[in-house]
Each structure stands twice: as structure tokens, then as C-alpha cells.
Structure 1
Amino acid sequence: MFKLAKNRISTWAIIGAVVFMIIQVISNLYLPNLTADIVNNGVVKGDINYIWQTGIKMIGFTLLSVVAAALNVFLASRASQKLGQNLRSDVYSKVINYSNDEMDQIGTSSLITRTTNDVTQIQNVWMMILRMMIMAPIMLVGAAFLAYQKNHTLTGVFLIALPILAVFIGLIMYFAVPLFKAMQQKTDNINLVFREGLTGVRVIRAFRQDQFEQDRFEKVNQDYTHNAIKVYSIMALMFPIMTLIMSGTNVGITWWGGHLIASGNLETGNLIAFMTYAMQILMSFMMLSMIFVFIPRAQASAVRISQVLNQKTSLVDPASPKTFTNTTPALAFNNVDFRYQNAENPALSGVDFSMTAGQTVAIIGGTGSGKSTLVNLIPRFYDVEKGNVSVNGLDVRDVDVHALRDEVAFVPQTADLFTGTVRDNLLYGNQKATDDELWKALEIAQAKDFISADPAGLDLHVEQGGDNFSGGQKQRLAIARALVKDSSVYVFDDSFSALDFKTDANLRAALKADDRIKNRIVVIVGQRVSTVADADTILVLEDGKMVGKGTHDELMKTNATYQEIVQSQLKEGADA
């Protein structure tokens, strides 16, 4: 936890918080001494002037304590909140550069929990550290020393009270700490189920699985609740036990102190001061104990965040990245094998083909044949196991990832749109694009009609996830976003699936007719034969292997797998 705070928390804020806390503690420790003086030298002797003079001192030290406490809280809050801000920024920056392997390994719901709940745990504990962890030991030592000065005989009470308090607090920590650690994983589970329910709400309603999902959420919710009830019930015992021990200590001090006063060995004011110091000692002991209860939970959160920050990404930029100098677009797969993490069998094996500027390559095959896996290797979302993928003559592992992805415009299977406007979403492709270029991309993507039909035009609002558009409209906007980008390779990963046959045909025709696109390489993953039939080269995949390569006519004559695909779609009435 302290390693995480290094270079992320303000040193000056910590120093300031420590200084003001020391001032506050010294003021608080001095006040019982002044109280004793008022009683011993003012009240007992009837000296009103001494009472007033000492009372004014008490007011001064009280105000000093209040000001110091306020400044300590301000600086501690600033330092802890700044730490949380820096941690969230660092985690987000790290995650945004993860490869798909790392994202799959940790999981989206866990990453959300780590960025929010876990960071909050660390913030809160650092606030406690800069408040109670500084205050408690100073006050404990100071109050013990001053109490001993008042009467060393009475300090024998602590030999009974403190061991009893230590035993009870030890038992509470023994049972509470494991439950606190478990709460983070249970929070992950709630986020996972809740997120799946939100993103899949249409599927849930369509299959009338509302009750099933409610029961599923109720299960993880109850698991978290029962854990929380247990841990907070245990923690709730601390305060009544503490009150009982403090009250017992007061009774012991009063009884013993009364005998000392009666024998003339203790002044009344000193007894009052001693009782105050006793409470400060016990309260300091309890504050330290609370910190030791909450630190393990924060430490567990720190470990989870460190896992994210220390996770080694498989996509490492080369020490001396090469620069794209070949202005002629080119794409090649050279005997490529690829295996997903921890998978027994390769997802791709022996994929070998090359394309040059102006060519369109289409990829077709059954579900799970490796089509999306293949195109994900082009922008280097994953690294190959064997062989290499090259763009414009360079191995994708030899160039900077950002430079590579500038050369590849990618449209994923899921048409993800972001909250904002149509213009904002299209500018993801090219921040410097003009309105004319945006409209041109929309025209090619067959999206111009429904955007121009709205008075807002490019400023038409986009809801979260593009929920105010149909599936086909979202796909066309995602395609337009890629077309705004001036790249060497345009990849469409099953991006025409929600389009009707006419729109699909018009879009492909517009791509071929565009002066810029027709001089680039276009990669199309398709399920329908009609989508891939007019490609210059069609790759046929089956179980991760390339079982066919050629034009539509060539494959119809020589490739059994392609013939089966065509026949199956003809039987279903598809237009091959």
C-alpha cells in the first residue's frame, strides 16, 4: 500500500498534516494539566484571578487545537483524495493499453471494482493514517508520560485495563480481518452479475428470464450482505467493550484515587487530570486497533490494484521501433499460428497469404473457424505464436503500436458508439477531419440519409452505446467512423451482418468506387456469400486452418467447404 502511494501522494501535504497533528495533540495533552492547575491552585484556594488566567490559557490552547485539527483534516483529505485520483488515472492508463489477453485474464467487472471500490479503500485508510495513526502513538506516549508524572501509583490500573483491551481487540481482529478481505471479491461478484444484467437486459426480457436473473443477483447480493453483517456486527462489539473497559478503568482510578486523596498523597486536580489522560491512553489504543483492522482490507485492495499496474502486457513496443516508409499498402500473413492464453489447441494454424494495394480480401467460414481471430492480429490486438503478420512490409511487432494502428482502420463485430454526438463519434477516426469528409464517410457507409434527415445533422445526440439507433444504423456509423480515417488497411469484422442485402451491396460498391479506398487494402469478414463473392481473394477457414483461397468462381469449382457454405445459403434462400 505504501509502495502505491510513493510518487502519487503529496509529500508536502503529509508533512503539513503531521505538523498540525502534532500541534493538536500537544494542545490536547496540555489541557488536562491546566484543568488540574485550576482545581489545585484556583478552586481549592479560592483564587478567582488564577482561575480566569488559566481559563483564558485553556481557551487559547483549545482554539489552537481546533485550528490545527481543521488544517490537518484539510491536508489529509487533499493528500488522500489526490492519491485516489492518481491511482484511478494510472489504472485507467494501464488498462487502456492492455492487450485483449490481459483484459480477458482480469475481467471487466473486476477492473471496475479495482478502479472504484479498491481505490476508495486505500483513500480512506490513508485518511485514517494521516489522522489517527499519527495522533494515536503520540497521544498514547504523551498521555502515559504525563499520567505517570501526576501519580505513578495510579498507573498500575493500566496493567489490568490494557491487557484486557488488547485481548478483546485481538479477538475482534482475528474474526473481522478475513471477512473484510472477502468483501472485495464479493463486490467483484455483484459488479459482474449487475453488469451482465444491464448489458443483456434485452436478451433477459426476450427469454423471460427476469426472475432467474433476479434470483442470481439476489444470491450474490445476499452473500455480500451476510458477509458485511458479520463483519460490522463484530466491529460493533468494539465500542461497547471499549466503553465497558473505560468505565471500569474510571471506577478503578476513582476508587484508588479517592484513597490516595484521603491519605494526602494525591491532589484532587491531579486525579481529574489523571482520569483524562487515562481516557486519552485508552482511546489512543482503540484508534491504533481500528487502524490495524482496516489496514489489512486496504492492503488487500492495494494488492489487487498492484496486480493491474504490474501486469506485464504481451504487447511490448520494440526498443528501437521501425518507421513505415513504404507508402504502398501491403498486408501479409506468413505461416501464422496463434493460440489463446491457456488454450490447448491453436485458434489459427498455418495461415499464409499476401495482399497489395487496391485488393479486397474476404474471409468466410463457419462459427468458430477463426475469422475474427485472424483480423484481430492485423492491428496487433494479440501477438502471433508462430510466423509473422506484416503491414506495409514491416512485421507488426517491429513498429510502435500507435503507429501501426494509424495504418489500420478497424470496425469490430460489435458496433460500439460513445455518448456524445455523431460528429464526436466520427472524429474518433480522425480528429482533424472536416465536415465535408465526415459527410463523405457517411455517404459511403450508407448512413447519410438517416443522419441528414434529422435537423441536428452531425450534432445528432448519441445515447450511451448508441441505443437511440437500430443495429444496422449503428453498424453503418461504426463503418463511417473507420472510413474517416486515412489508413493503409481497412478491416471490417463481420460489420455488414445487420445490413439488408441492398444496403450491403450499395456499401461495397461505394467502397470500390471511392478514389481513396480503392487504392488501399480492404479486409472483409462475412457470413453471407453475397458479401464476399466479389472480393479479389476469398479465404476459407475451417477449425482455424485455411482450407481454401481464390476467387468466388475458383472456389466454386475446387473447394468443397466453400461449396457447402454456398449450398447451405442457397437452400435458405440467400442470394449467393
Structure 2
Amino acid sequence: MIKLAKKRVSGWAVFFAVMFMVGQVFTSLYLPNLTSDLVNYGVAKGDTNYIWSAGMKMLAVSVLSVIFSFGNVYLAAKTSQGLGRNLRKDIYHKVLYMSNDEFDQVGTSSLITRTTNDVVQIQNVAMMALRMMIMAPIMLVGASFMAYQKDAQLTSIFVVVIPIMIVFVGIVMYFAVPLFKAMQTKTDRLNLVFREGLTGVRVIRAFVRDKFEQNRFDDANLDYTRNARKVFSIMAVMMPVMTLIMSGTNVAIIWNGGQLIANQSMAVGNMIAFMTYAMQILMSFMMLSMVFVVVPRGQASADRIAQVLKLQSTIKPAEQPKEFSETTPSSLDFDDVLFRYQGAENPALTGVDAHVKQGQTLAIIGGTGSGKSTLINLIPRFYDVESGSVRINGLNVKDVDAQTLQEQIAMVPQKALLFKGSLRDNLRYGNPDATDDQLWHALEIAQSTDFIKDDDGLDTFVEQGGDNFSGGQKQRLAIARALVKKASVYVFDDSFSALDFKTDANLRKALLEDETVQKAVVVIVGQRVSTVADADQIIVLDEGKMVGIGTHPELKANNETYREIVESQIKQGGEMNE
């Protein structure tokens, strides 16, 4: 936890927070001493002047204590909140540059929990560290010394009281700390189930699985609730027991102190001060017990955050990055590519070899799970090949800086995703300097002008995830966004699946006729033969192996796997819009 905080908080803020806290503790310890003198030398002797003098001193010390307390609370809050802000920023930055392997290791729901709940736990510990962790030990030592100064005989009471408190706090910690640690894992599970329920609500309703999902959520919720109920029930015992111990201590002090006063061995003011110091000692133990309970939970959160920040990317940066030349024609090459997912025994892709030149279209077709999306994820280097190479414009993707590489690629993912805001902002996502004319041109190629003109044009508001558009409309808008970006390689990952055959054909025709696209390489992943039939080269994948490459007529004549795909899409009397 200290390592996480070390570079993310201001050293000066921590220093002055500590100084303010030390000042607050010393003023708090000095006040009972002034009260003792006021009673002993003012009230007992009827000295009004001394009472006024001591009272003014007490007022001045109290004002100082308030100032010190305010300074400490302000700096502690500023430091802890700043630590939380920096942690969230660092986690988000790390996530943005994670490879797909790291995402698979942690999981989206867990990342959300770590960025929110775990960061809050660390903020709480940081706040407590600059308040209770500093106050409690100083107050404990200082109050013990001042109590001993007032009466050495009465301090023997603490020989009995303190061991009782230590044993009690130890028992509470033994049962509570493991439960606090378990709460983070159970929060992960609860978030996972809740997130799946929200994102999959349409599927749940379509299959009438609402009762099943409700029971699944109830199980996760009940598990979390039971754990929380146990730990907070244990913690609830602490306050009444500590209050009982404090009350018993006061009774013991008054009983023994009364006898000392009766024997004139102790002044009344000293006993009043001693009782205050006794409360400060016991309160210090209570604060320490809270620290001992909260810190392990914060440490568990810190370990989970550190795990994310320490993740080593499988994508190693180029030692001497090369730059793309503007004069080099666009090209895409797969040289005997072999790829294996991390920890997998068998390769996901083997023997992929293809070479595409400027102005050509490469199509990839195959059955579900054949490795189509995996192959195109190698182009922007979301994964690294195990052997062979992927080259863009003649340069190995491993020899190019990641940002420089991805600037050369415009990609439409399998799931069309739009961001909340205006349509103009969405289309400019890959090219912030694009003009409105360029945006309309991209929309025209993507066959989207009809439904956009009917709305508010480029000022059309886009809901989160593009939920105010249909599936086909979202796909076309995602395609338009990619076309606005000037790239060497345009990748369409099954981006025509929600389009009807006529729109699909018109869109592909407009793509081929566009001057900008003609200077690039187009990669299309498709399920339908009609989508890939016009491509210059078609890669046929089967269970991760490239079993064929060629044009539509060549593959139809010579490749059994491709022929099976074609035959499976035959309608009554002919092929599907080949």
C-alpha cells in the first residue's frame, strides 16, 4: 500500500498533515492539565483572577486545537482524495494500453470493482493513516505519561484494563479481518452477475430466463449480504464492550481516586485530569483497533490494484521503432503465421500466408470458431504471433511503435459500438480534423445518409452504445467512422452481417469506387459468400488452419471447405447472390 501511495501523494502535504496532527494531540493533552490547575488553584481557593487567567489560556489552547484539527483534516482529505484520483487515472491509463491477454487475466467486472470499490478502500486507509494512525500512538504515549505525572498509584488500573482491551481487540480482529478481505472477492462476483444481467437483458427476456437470472443475482447478493452481516455484527460488539470497559475504568478511577482525595493524597483537579487522560488512553486503543481492522481490507485492495498495475504486457515495444514512409504503397502480408493464445496447448492459427497489394481486397471466411477474428486482431497487434510475421507497408508490426501502427489501420469491430454524444463527434473519433463534407462522404459510402438526414443530420444525438439506432444502422455508422480515418488498411470484422443483401452490395460497390479506399488495402471478414465473392483474394479457415486461398471461382472449383460453405448457403434453385 505504501508503494502505491509513494509516488501518488504530495510529500509536503503529508508532512504538514502530520505536523498539524502532532499540534492537535499536544493541545488536547495540555487542556486537562490546565483544567486540573484551574480546579486546584482557582476553584478550590476561590481565586477569581486565576480562574479567568486559566480560562483564557484554555480558550486559546482550544482555538489552537481547532486550527490544528482543521488543517490536518483538510490536508488528509486532500491527500487521500488525490491518491484516489491518481490511482484511478493510472488504472485507466493501464487498461487503455492492455493487450487482450491482460484483459482475459483480470476481467471487465473485476477491473470496474478495482477502479471504484478498491480505490475507495485505499482512500479510507489513507485518510485514517493521516488521522487515527498518527493520533492514536502519540495520544496513547502522551496521555499515559501525563496520567502518571498526575498520580502514579492510579495508573496501576491500566495494568488490568489494557490487557483486557488487547485480548478483546485481538479476538475481534481474528474473526473480522478474513471476512473484510472476502468482501472484495464477493463484490467482484456481485458486479459480474449484475453487469451480465444489464447487458444481456434482451436475451434474458427473449428466453424467459428472468427467474433464473434473478435467482442467480439473489445468490450472489445473499452471499455478499451474509458476509457483510457477519463482519458488521462482529464490529457492532466492539462499541458497547469498549464503552463498558471505559465505564468500568471510570468507576475504578473514581473509587480509588475518592479514597486518595479523602486521605488528602490527591487533589480534586488531578483526579479530573486523570479521568480525562484515562479516556484518551482508552480512545487511543479504540482508534488503533479500528486501524487494525480497516488496514487489512485496504491492503487486500492495494494488492488487487497493484496486480493490475504490474501486469506485464505480452506485446513488447519495438527497441528501435521504424516509421512508415508516405511514399510506400499500402500492402498487407501474412508470412506463415502461427498464433497460440496464452496458456493454450494447441495453436489458434497455423500456416496463414497471404500477400495483398494496394487497391486489393482480402476476404476471410470460415466456420464459427475457425479463427477469423483472431487473424485480424494480429493486424493492429492486439496479439503477437508466435512465429512468422505480419507486415504492413513492408514493415513488421513488431518493429513499429504501437500508436504509429494503429494510426495506419481503420478497424470496424465485430460488435458496432458508438459513444454517447453527437454523431459528428462519433464520426470524428479517428480523425478530429475531418470536415463536415468528409463526414457526409463517409456516410454516403456507408449507405447511412437516408436515416441521418431524416433526423438532425450530423448533430443527431447518439445514446450510450448507440441504443437509439438499429443493429444495421449502428454497423453502417461504425463503417462510416472508419472511412473518415485516412488509413493504409481498412479492416471490417463481420461488419456487414446486419445488412440486407442490397445494402451490403451497394456498400461494397461504393467502397471499391472510393479514391481513398483504392489507395489502401481492404480486409473483410464475412459469413456470407455474397459478401466475400468479389474480393481479390479469399482466405478459407477451418479450425485455425488456412485450408485455401484464391478468388471465388478458383476456390469454388478446387477447395472442398469453401464449396461446402457455398452449398450451405444455396437457396431453392440457386446460390445466394454470388
State the TM-score, normalizing by the size of structure 1: 0.99
Measured after TM superposition, the shift of residue 519 of structure 1 is: 2.0
Helix, strand or coil: the match of 2:131?
Answer: helix
Give 3-state SS (helix, strand or coil) of 1:358's partner: coil
Cα distance in 2 for partners of 1:334, 1:327 equals 19
**Greater CA drift, 425-434 or 297-306:** 425-434
- Please give the residue correspondences for 1:32-431 in structure 2 after superposition, counting only pairs within 5 Å: 32-325=32-325, 327-431=328-432
Give the count of matched residue pairs. 575
CA–CA distance in 2 between the matches of 1:161 and 1:317? 61
In structure 2, what is the Cα distance between the partners aligned to 1:150 and 1:135?
22
| Residue type of the alignment partner of 2:526 | G
What one-letter code is carried by the residue in structure 2 that aligns with 1:79?
T
The aligned amino acid for 1:335 is: D
Matched, 1:435 2:436: yes
Name the SS for the 2:26 alignment partner: helix
Mapped partners of 1:259, 1:387: distance in 2: 92
Find the residue that maps to 2:130 and give its secondary structure.
Answer: helix
Read off the aligned partner of 1:72 and give its amino acid letter.
Answer: N
**CA-CA distance at 1:7 after TM superposition:** 1.4
8 Å contact 1:375–1:493 — kept in the other structure?
Answer: yes
1:316, CA displacement in angstroms? Answer: 2.0
Q: How does 1:533-572 map to 2 (within 5 A)?
A: 533-571=533-571
Shift of 1:575: 2.6
4+ residue runs of structure 1 moved beyond 2 angstroms?
A: 571-576
Greater alpha carbon shift after TM alignment, 121-130 vs 49-58: 49-58
Offset, 1:41: 0.7
Contact 1:429 1:483 in 2 (8 A): no
| Distance across 1 between alignment mates of 2:58 and 2:75 | 26
CA distance in 2 between partners of 1:285 and 1:564 (Å): 77
**What is the one-letter code of the residue matched to 1:402?**
Q
Give the match for residue 7 of structure 2.
Answer: 7
Range with bigger deviation, 92-101 or 53-62: 53-62
Q: Determine the structure 1 residue equivalent to 2:474.
A: 474
Deviation of residue 344 (structure 1)?
2.0
Secondary structure of the corresponding residue to residue 222 of structure 2: helix
**1:575 match:** 577
Specify the SS of the correspondent of 2:211: helix
Query: Aligned partners of 1:502 and 1:550: how far apart in 2?
Result: 25
Structure 1 residue 376: deviation in Å?
A: 0.6
Q: Partners in 1 of 2:343 and 2:220 — Cα distance?
A: 28
Q: Distance in 1 between matches of 2:294 and 2:234?
A: 13
Question: In structure 2, the residue corresponding to 1:469 is in which secondary structure?
Answer: coil
Unaligned runs of 5+ in 2: none
In 2, distance between residues paired with 1:110 and 1:100? 15
Query: Do 1:363 and 1:541's aligned partners in 2 also have CA atoms closer than 8 Å?
Result: yes
Q: Check conservation: 1:569, 1:575, Cα contact below 8 A.
A: no
- 1:387 alignment partner, SS class: strand
How big is each residue's C-alpha offset from its partner over 1:364-419, in whole Å with a ceiling of 9 and x where there is no partner? Answer: 11101111111110011111111111111111011000000011111110001111
How far apart in 1 are the matches of 2:106 and 2:299? 19
- What are the Cα deviations for residues 436-476 of structure 1, in whole angstroms up to 9, with x where unaligned? 1111111111111111121x211110001000000000000
Q: CA deviation at 1:256?
A: 1.1
Alpha-carbon distance between aligned partners in 2 of 1:336 and 1:36, rounded to the nearest angstrom: 85
What is the CA-CA distance between 1:322 and the residue it aligns to?
1.0
Write the distance in 2 (CA, Å) between the matches of 1:192 and 1:316. Answer: 30
After superposition, give the CA deviation of every residue in 1:501-548 in whole Å (9 maximum; x if it has no partner): 000000000001001101211000000000000111111110111111
**Secondary structure in 2 matching 1:516:** helix
Q: Percent identity?
A: 67
Separation (CA, whole Å) in 2 of partners of 1:238 and 1:28? 25
TM-score normalized by structure 2?
A: 0.98
Cα drift, residue 571 of structure 1? 3.9
Instruction: Name the Cα RMSD after superposition.
Output: 0.9
C-alpha separation between the residues in 2 aligned to 1:174 and 1:239? 17
